[in-house]
Amino acid sequence: MFSFELLKKDQHSAARLGRIITPHGEIETPIFMPVGTQATVKAMTGEELEGLGAQIILGNAYHLYLRPGMELISQFGGLHKFMHWERPILTDSGGYQVFSLGKFCKISEEGVSFQSHVDGGTRHFISPEEAIRIQQTLNADIVMILDECLPYPATEDYALASLERTTRWAQRCRMVHDGKRGMFGIVQGGTYLHLRRESARQLIDLDFEGYALGGLSVGESKEITHEIMSIVTPILPENKPRYAMGLGTPLDLIKGVAAGVDMFDCVMPTRHARNGMLFTGFGHIVIKNAAYTRDLSPIDEECNCYTCRNYSRAYLRHLNLAGEILSARLNTIHNLHFYLDLMRQIRHSIAYNCFRDLQNKYLTRRTD
């Protein structure tokens, strides 16, 4: 039901072209996954996402477990029919969300106990086994193990204890895997490269269908993030997909692909769209700025998205300042088009042996 085929490797970097087969369809890699945390990619319909070239989206088991709950989603046979999306879905187990709860969460060997952010009082407990059962109820095509996401900075002793706990949880997750979908292990270890290597080694021994780099973009510098990606990714099995969780900026995508990463996700294109920050081939613009008050040009002259074909910067600025719902929709269409088209260009460049040219052109033109 789940497999990965490595189709081609770049001549000048670790970039690679691949294909993932899932129960709900194929995915061409490298790929960016729009984030649909609560069974929706904010402001977008399923048809619009398909039109933009989205091949897979991400849902979050933690949020969906709390609201609307597994009983309701199970009545639909899983997340696909519930949210009207028939293509592949990856679900995050909620390790990062648990990390973000801070004092409202308690981590033990058995699992995680936390206070609901929805009602502010109800306490819940999720074990590694339950995290997988929840994702299987969601009928995700790719499920993630329950891991412990470290804060930054963390001591080396705590990072070691944390990665060892993540490995033990990974073993427990593996035992309840139903074999109907892919399960990914998550490499932890903080910013300690030798611990990252050790975490990768331990997880490789468990023979997951794919591997992810977790605990990135939690406060460390971009230089550290990119160093971890470039050093740890090549350690992971060549015949399995590699996923950098929570990344990132367009630069993160370029650097990650060059390091051999196949899959990315981030809330940045949709969240920034709602806040009026728009991505272009020459850097980002903040549409509320007064400079765009009478600007008749599109966001990006070279972009062919629906928003750029039909609307001016002046109009988009007006919508943003007026707080209109259409602002979020048009901005999201543009930002997701930018991200997904960037990945399409990357795949094309690898296929035709010109990824280095695309990389150099991109880094030269951008200002952010």
Residue 300 bears catalytic tag: no
Nearest CA-CA partner of 112 in 133, 102, 98, 91: 98
Q: Which of 147, 262, 265, 300 is catalytic?
A: 265
Q: What are residue 182's phi and psi, to 5 degrees?
A: -85, 145
Q: What angle do CA 100, 84, 66 make, to 5 degrees?
A: 30
Q: Which of 10, 92, 252, 262 is catalytic?
A: 92
Nearest CA-CA partner of 212 in 190, 186, 238: 186
Number of Cβ within a 10 Å radius of residue 231: 13
Residue 207 bears catalytic tag: no
Q: Kindly give the interhelix angle for 222-232 and 193-204, rounded to the nearest 10 degrees.
A: 40
What residues are paired with 242 via a beta bridge? 211
> Reduced to 3 states, what is the DSSP secondary structure of residue 33?
strand
> Reduced to 3 states, what is the DSSP secondary structure of residue 85?
coil
Q: What are residue 149's phi and psi, to 5 degrees?
A: -90, 120
234 vs 285: CA distance, rounded Å: 35
CA distance between the termini of the chain: 41
Please list, residue by residue across 233-244, b when 16 or more beta carbons sit within 10 angstroms of its beta carbon and e when fewer do: bebbeeebbbbb
- DSSP assignment of 256-291, as one string? HHHHT--EEE-SHHHHHHHTTEEEEBTEEEETTSGG
Q: Are strands 112-115 and 105-107 parallel, antiparallel or unpaired?
A: antiparallel
Nearest CA-CA partner of 185 in 214, 146, 167, 211: 211
Number of Cβ within a 10 Å radius of residue 278: 26
Just list the catalytic residues. 92, 265
